[in-house]
Amino acid sequence: MHNRLGGRIVSLAMWSLLLVLSPTLVAGQGSNTTPPRLNGNPDLNGIWQAVNTANWNLEAHSASHGAVWQSGALGAIPAGDSVVEGGRIPYRDGTAARRADNFNNRAAEDPEALCYLPGVPRATYVPYPFQIVQSGGDILMVYEYASANRLVNMGEARSAGSDTWMGTNNGRWDGETLVIDVTGLNGLAWLDRAGNYASDQLHVVERFTRVGPDHIRYEATIEDPTVFTRPWTISMPLYRRVEANAQLHDFKCVEFSEDLIYGQYLKEPVQ
């Protein structure tokens, strides 16, 4: 009993010390460094990753079981805060019903499970890193998930020739912020595993602002008048992978989803 009580006292003392020191520690992170620059603009080169639960659900959510109960805690959904400004996605009357259907059928219909391209903005916060390759001209974004990529045109704006998963991306600098206007999205990608979605009328404006050597503030304004009552914005920090050998690895997930997609067409082996 004495050892148990003593341990609790030590733990309380440690937490108290952390609460006192934490404002100082947080304030000191990155405060004495300046983000690097390239050709007069912020240098966004590097491997970046979102560290949150937005891919499970953009809105606030409690921890719960996953899409397939047989996976137990391995497939469970972690709790998370909303990354949506205002907390809730402004669905039109009647359109949220499809989100519920998507959620109920997510094990077989989530485009991520099927290894389809993640779309925009979901590509930024799927739980895999991505790389920004910036030079003097256009900017390339390469994603570990499904080997996805998109080229950001930094020249004269171009209209979308056809709808695609990753859209037509036109970029420009607005002071310290890279602004990417994304049109021509096919509306097939979901926004998260909770079934949040948009249509092929989706228009996304992203803002990447480097706020320190290892942090980008990411914002995306989502507009789709057929699904939502108004434009709405998500925001989150992106963290630079700083390990010495940081690199993207192969995650060519097609082979993992073949049985899910084509299993019903497989013939039983001849006995």
Instruction: Identify whether residues 3 and 101 lie together within a single domain.
Output: no
pLDDT of residue 193: 97
- Residue 271 pLDDT level (bands cut at 50, 70, 90): low
Please give the C-alpha separations between residue 152 and each of 32, 43, 56, 134, in angstroms, as whole numbers: 31, 15, 27, 10
The whole-angstrom separation of Cα 65 and Cα 83 is 21
Altogether, the residues listed in the chain come to a count of 271
CATH number for the domain harbouring residue 55: 2.40.128.20
Q: How far is CA 225 from CA 92, 159, 251, in A?
A: 9, 20, 34
Is 10 in the same domain as 136?
no
Q: What is the mean pLDDT of residues 135-140?
A: 94
Are both 172 and 202 inside the same structural domain? yes
Domain membership flag for residue 192 = yes
Total number of domains constituting the chain: 2
Q: Which of 40-49, 68-77, 224-233 has the lowest mean pLDDT?
A: 68-77
139 and 242 share a domain? Answer: yes
pLDDT in tens, 80-135: 999 999 999 999 999 999 999 999 999 999 999 999 999 999 999 999 999 999 99
Distance CA 236, CA 269 (A): 50
Q: Is 266 exposed, middle or buried (0-12, 13-18, 19+ CB in 10 A)?
A: exposed
Distance CA(85)–CA(74), nearest Å, equals 30
Residue 261 banded pLDDT, cuts 50, 70, 90: confident
Is residue 11 domain-shared with residue 61, that is, in the same domain?
A: no
Range of the domain at 149: 37-265
Assign 10 a pLDDT band (cuts: 50, 70, 90).
Answer: very low
Per the listing, tokens 């300046």 go with 34
Neighbours of 253 (CB within 10 A): 16
Residue 258: pLDDT band (50, 70, 90) is confident
- Work out the average pLDDT over 241-254: 94
Task: Retrieve residue 190's tokens.
Answer: 């979901």
Q: Identify whether residues 155 and 208 lie together within a single domain.
A: yes
Residue 270 placed within a domain? no
Is 68 in the same domain as 26? no
Whether residue 13 sits in one domain with residue 102: no
Instruction: Specify the amino acid at residue 252.
Output: K
Q: How far is residue 108's CA from residue 257's CA, in Å, rounded to a whole number?
A: 10
Task: For 227-266, give the DSSP string.
Answer: TBSS-EEEEEEEEE--STT-----B-THHHHHHHHHGGGP
pLDDT at 1 over 70: no
| Least confident window among 55-69, 176-190, 252-266 | 252-266
- Same structural domain, 43 and 27: no
Percentage with pLDDT > 70 across the chain: 86
In the predicted structure, residue 69 carries a pLDDT above the cut 80 = no
Helix, strand, coil abundance in the chain, percent, nearest 5: 25, 30, 50
94 with 21, same domain: the answer is: no
Residues 132 and 255 both lie in one domain: yes
d(CA 123, CA 193): 13
